[in-house]
Amino acid sequence: MTNKNSKIDKNILIVANWKMNPVTLDEAKRLFEVVKKGVAGFSLPRRKLKFAIPEVEVVTCPPFVYLSNFQLSASSLQLGAQNCFYEEKGAFTGEISPLMLKNLGCRYVIIGHSERRQYFGETNEMINKKIKAALKTRLKPILCLGEKEEEREQIKEILENQLIQDLKEVSPGQITNIVIAYEPVWAIGTGNYCSVDDALSAYLMIKKFLTNYYSRNLANRVKILYGGSIDNQNAASYIKEARMDGLLVGGASLNASEFIKIVKSCQ
Ligand code: PGA
């Protein structure tokens, strides 16, 4: 296991999932502006340097209705969405297509979050269609998967089954454009702490699956994030000790100073 005090020597991706918050555009703008200022200097300026320093890429995923207020040009913050449909356009009342998101400047889209699986009946088949549609539009899907409390004993089968179904027909050429977020359902929004050992073991299961299914080289290029009750105290441990390539932050991303502390702790 990596040392707690070791330096982070790889590029990190930190994603803020605002979920269905906040309820006014003014609040959303304020949160966005504070975070944008707070993380300025973490990512883009580093890219301009000639020598390689690990980067921290920060992505904000607000509700759809706020996206067009947050168009970015040369910002240190990227935009993502929390969901999309699998068709480009047409008679699908209430749905948002990946093409619309791309045209609004999104780079990422979260797909298959456990709340969508639980409350909106999203199946692995639907998730697989959404992933393929997002890839076709050149959006990077952040595929969420993880086991429920009662499935903890069968975690290997559960994760494998989700990966097999969600990544069906995703080609070797496409897999490196996908980010995988391991989010144990029992740790989401509950304050339940997923130990570093449990997170590391899930990380290794996912890497092994990708290695067998694609190749070691491709598996090494797929980013794996951890998500579930992250705060500024535990954030870095998932990266330094559980080898994760980044974080998917829910509740703590609604508090700008807490979120900025999380980003800083992962440098
Ligand atoms: P949480 O949510 O950080 O509030 O646990 C994480 C997520 O749902 O992505």
Per-residue pLDDT of the chain (267 residues; tens, 9 = 90+): 456 667 777 899 999 999 999 999 999 999 999 999 898 866 544 455 555 566 899 999 999 999 999 867 556 689 999 999 999 999 999 999 999 999 999 999 999 999 999 999 999 999 999 999 999 999 999 999 999 999 999 999 999 999 999 999 999 999 999 999 999 999 999 999 999 999 999 999 999 999 999 999 999 999 999 999 999 999 999 999 999 999 999 999 999 999 999 999 998
Q: How many helices (H) and strands (E) in the chain?
A: 11, 8
Q: What is the largest CA-CA distance in the chain?
A: 54
Give the containing element (helix H, strand E) for 90: none
CB atoms within 10 A of CB 81: 25
Residue of the CA atom closest to atom 9 of ligand 1: 250
Q: Which atom of ligand 1 is nearest to the CA of 114?
A: 8
Testing ligand 1's pocket by substitution, the residue of 183, 233, 254 carrying the most ligand atoms inside 8 A of its CB is 183
**Alpha carbon distance 146, 190 (integer Å):** 15
Residue whose CA lies nearest to ligand 1 atom number 6: 250
Query: Which residue do the tokens 């494998």 mark?
Result: 160
Atom of ligand 1 nearest to the CA of 252: 3
pTM: 0.94
Sign of the alpha-carbon torsion through 150, 161, 198, 242: negative
Distance in Å, CA 165 to ligand 1 centroid: 23
pLDDT of residue 1: 47
Residue 28: partners with Cβ closer than 8 Å, 6 or more residues away: 18, 22, 62, 63, 66, 69
54: alpha, beta or left? (left if phi > 0; alpha if psi -120 to 50): beta
79 forms beta bridges with 60
Q: How far apart are CA 223 and CA 218, in angstroms?
A: 10
Are 172 and 216 spatial neighbours (Cβ–Cβ below 8 Å)? Answer: no
Query: Which atom of ligand 1 lies nearest, measured to the CA of 187?
Result: 5
- Dist. CA 186–CA 159, nearest whole Å: 14
Which three-class secondary structure state does DSSP give residue 28? helix
Cα separation of 175 and 55, whole Å?
A: 21
| Structure confidence at residue 203 (pLDDT) | 98
Burial class (CB in 10 A: 0-12, 13-18, 19+), 187: buried
Mutate which of 20, 108, 230 for ligand 1 pocket (most atoms within 8 A of beta carbon):
230
To test ligand 1's pocket by mutation, which of 229, 231, 233, 262 has the most ligand atoms within 8 angstroms of CB? 229
- Round to whole Å and give the CA distance between 265 and 267: 6
**Ligand 1 mean position, distance from CA 188 (Å):** 5
Query: Which amino acid is located at 136 in the chain?
Result: K
Of 192, 185, 176, give the one whose Cα is nearest residue 229: 192
- What distances in angstroms separate CA 236 from CA 32, 132, 225, one per listed residue? 23, 32, 12
User: How many Å lie between the centroid of ligand 1 and the Cα of residue 251?
Assistant: 6
For residue 260 the two structure tokens come to 């900025």
Catalytic residues: 113, 183
